[in-house]
Structures are given as C-alpha cells and as structure tokens.
Amino acid sequence: MSTNTEPSKEPRSILIVDDEHNILLGLKRLLERSGYKVTTCDDGLASIKIAQELLPDLIICDIMMPYLDGFTTREAIAANSLTKDIPFIFLTARTSQLDKVKGLREGADDYITKPFNPLELVARVDAIFRRQNRDKQSAIQEISRRLELIEAEKIKNNPKELQMSAKQMLTALKTVLSEKFTNPDDIEKFTEKSISQFQRLNFLVNDLVFLNSFDKGDAFYLRQLVDIKNDFMLPIAQRQELYLEKNLQINIHVAEDVVIHAPRLEFSQVVGHIADNAMKFAPPRTSVQIELLANGEGGCVLTVLDHGQGIPLELHEKVFERYYQVDQDNSHKYEGLGLGLTISRPITRSLGGDLVILPTDRDCKIQLTLPPAHLDMP
C-alpha cells in the first residue's frame, strides 16, 4: 500500500466528509495507515467551518448527504478564499456518467464511486498530491526564472553606473595632469571633482560587496560601541561632498545621552544611505534635518527630513525593493544602483529595529529605530 510521499515533513492532512459512519471509520484507518493525518465529519454544513479552521491538504466528500449535499458543500468551500484551492474528491454511490461529469465540472479533482477498491483510492489520493507537488515545483521554477530575468536585467545596468563614475573621475584627473593650469583654483576644482567621483564609485562598490555578503549570509551583525564622530558624522559629511553644487544646509542634532551599540561599518553605511537619499531628492538651496536621539542604552532613533517632493504612500514599501529607483526630475544626475534603502532595512531589522518612511503631507521623512542592546564586543 502506498504511503505519504513526504515522510520527512509534516504529514499531509485530509478531511473526509460522509454521513455513513462505517465509511468514515474505514477511510480514516486506511489513509492513516498510508501516512496521512485524517479528520472526519458527518455533516456537509459543519465541514465548511472545519475546512476553514484546519485548511486540510485534501477533502474527500460524499455527494448524497442530508441537509447539505456534496455539490453544495463543494460550492461553499470554493467560494471562500482560504479554502478555494484545496483539492477535492467526490465519493459517492451515484455511478451515472452525468453525475461524474457534473462533479468534475463543479471543480472536483477526482470522482470515486462506491464501493471502491482501497488500493485504488489511496493511489488516487497519492496521485493528486504528486500532481500538486509537480504543479508547485513548476510554479516555483517559473517564478524563479522570472526573478532571475529581472535581476539579470537590473544587474546588467549596474556597470553603467560604475563606468560613469570611473569615466568622470578619470576625465577630471586627466584634465588636471594634461592642462597647464596657472590658476590654482582651476586645479583645485578638477581635483575635487575627481575625488568626489572616486568617493561615489567607492560607495557603489561597497554596496555591491555588502549585497554579495548579505546574499551569502556573511553579513556582520555583532554589536559594537558606535563612535558618533567617525561612524555617524563622517558618513553624512562624505555624502554631503557629493552634493556641494546643490548648496544644501545640513542641520544635525545629536542628543547628548545617545549611546549606540551596533556593527560600526554597517551602521555607518546605513546612515550614509539615509543621508544620501535625503540630499539626492532635496531641492537646491534647501535644508536637510537630521536628528539622532537615544532609545535606551545602546538604542537610537534617527530621523531625516528633506523638503523634496516626498514619496507617494503607495511607494513607501516599493522603494525598499532591490534596484528600485524613485523617478524624480532633480535626482537623475545623482542616481546610483537603487540599493541604498534595500541594504539599510535588512541591516536595521537584523538588529531588532526598523526603517520606515513616515507619512507626511509634504516633504520626505525617514526614520530608523534601533532598540536598546548590550555590547557583543568592544
């Protein structure tokens, strides 16, 4: 006799509905010996509620029952979003071809007549689960294939961002070296431009390196004592250098009692991305407000506000997807890989915190919260 096809996993569950108690008892024993978990019910109406509560992997239901016949029971189960996809077998003494056709048209996966051969019934049950597994695997493979295509298309565009930064950096350096400037201001201008582009290129490469480590499960999450000057103020200042031409006013407030316990490099990377996001979308000659408050020993609340167009409510979760970039006119020349918030949220959540976009009537306000925590290492 066949057995459950997935012995190493939780047994498949089956709900049997029949008003004949001998049939219920016999089927229960038969299917339990085959490795299935079985629940029985002798009433069609009651079975609808049981199906919603238990969500069995398969329902075997008699057609000729008092109060609520099998067809009506099947119709009610199919009408509920929780149970509509559960495979369904009609079990009945009605042997006419028209009844069988009606059963299959009602959405049944199989139709078994009484009296039935026990081996045949178990084989039919096994076949439904095998088909279900094949369909599931096929769906997973198709989804994976589509995701791979999307990722490949996105990644294909990443070298363009890297190449652009490298090209601009090399052009500026080449200009400094080849032109015989007599004005020191010109030399300083092109040198600063090349340094700025090198910094941008460095940020992009760091993002790809971290993403690779994160995908492999090698990210570093041990709590360290964060240095406010080097791990908070410095990444903000580095990002500000990329947007000097916008003449932004960066207002930073750090509460005196802030003590943060987080992986220093990752925390610095998150702060840099949140600040970069605000500066990227802030209109020229406006301000960016950055506030860092304590949230218990080792925790913090970081809030960053810019006066850009803001992010529509329907995109508040979308912007955290990998490679997604908000399309705003004043940010085209500053676009990166669309990884900043994608990287920042999982880092924050891995530490028990969260990164969210707060609802506002205008502007854009992003808030990072880290809970209190002890040090893992100095």
Q: Which pLDDT does position 302 carry in this prediction?
A: 97
Q: Is 124 in a helix, a strand, or coil?
A: helix
Distance CA 94, CA 64 (A): 8
Q: Give yes or no for residue 256 having a pLDDT over 70.
A: yes
- Output the six-digit token pair for 375: 């040090």
Q: Which pLDDT does position 65 carry in this prediction?
A: 87
Q: Give yes or no for residue 293 having a pLDDT over 60.
A: yes
- Output the six-digit token pair for 321: 């997807």
Q: Give yes or no for residue 329 having a pLDDT over 70.
A: no
* Domain pair 13-116 / 219-378, same fold: no
Among the ranges 161-165, 309-313, 360-364, which has the highest mean pLDDT value?
A: 360-364
Please compute the mean of the pLDDT values over residues 118-128 and round it to a whole number.
88
Q: Which pLDDT does position 230 carry in this prediction?
A: 93
Of the two residues 285 and 91, the one the predictor is more confident about is: 285
Please compute the mean of the pLDDT values over residues 284-310 and round it to a whole number.
93
Instruction: Please list the residues that pair with 39 across neighbouring strands.
Output: 15
Distance CA 293, CA 228 (A): 12
CATH annotation of 219-378: 3.30.565.10
pLDDT exceeding 90 applies to what percent of the chain?
33
Q: Give yes or no for residue 82 having a pLDDT over 60.
A: yes
Of the two residues 66 and 185, the one the predictor is more confident about is: 66
Q: Give yes or no for residue 42 having a pLDDT over 60.
A: yes
CB 331, CB 293: distance < 8 Å: no
**DSSP character at residue 12:** P
Domain boundaries, the chain: 13-116, 219-378
Q: Which pLDDT does position 103 carry in this prediction?
A: 54
Question: Which of 50-64, 80-94, 132-146, 268-282 has the least mean pLDDT?
Answer: 132-146
CB 59, CB 106: distance < 8 Å: no
Q: Give yes or no for residue 17 having a pLDDT over 80.
A: yes
- Output the six-digit token pair for 352: 């028990």
Mark out the alpha helices in the chain (DSSP H runs): 21-33, 44-54, 70-78, 97-105, 118-178, 184-215, 234-241, 264-281, 340-350
Q: Give yes or no for residue 140 having a pLDDT over 80.
A: no
Of the two residues 369 and 159, the one the predictor is more confident about is: 369
Q: Which pLDDT does position 207 carry in this prediction?
A: 67
Percent helix, strand and coil across the chain, each to the nearest 5? 50, 15, 30
Task: Say whether pTM exceeds 0.75.
Answer: no
Distance CA 200, CA 163 (A): 11
Please compute the mean of the pLDDT values over residues 152-175 and round it to a whole number.
54
Of the candidates 131, 134, 133, 114, the one whose C-alpha atom is nearest the C-alpha of residue 123 is 131
Q: Residue 286 — pLDDT band, cuts 50, 70, 90?
A: very high
Q: Which pLDDT does position 308 carry in this prediction?
A: 84
Q: Which pLDDT does position 47 carry in this prediction?
A: 93
- Output the six-digit token pair for 146: 């589509």
Q: Which pLDDT does position 93 carry in this prediction?
A: 73
pLDDT, tens digit (0-9, with 9 covering 90-100), for 199-233: 666 666 666 666 666 666 665 668 899 999 999 99
Instruction: Domain 13-116: give its CATH superfamily.
Output: Response regulator (3.40.50.2300)
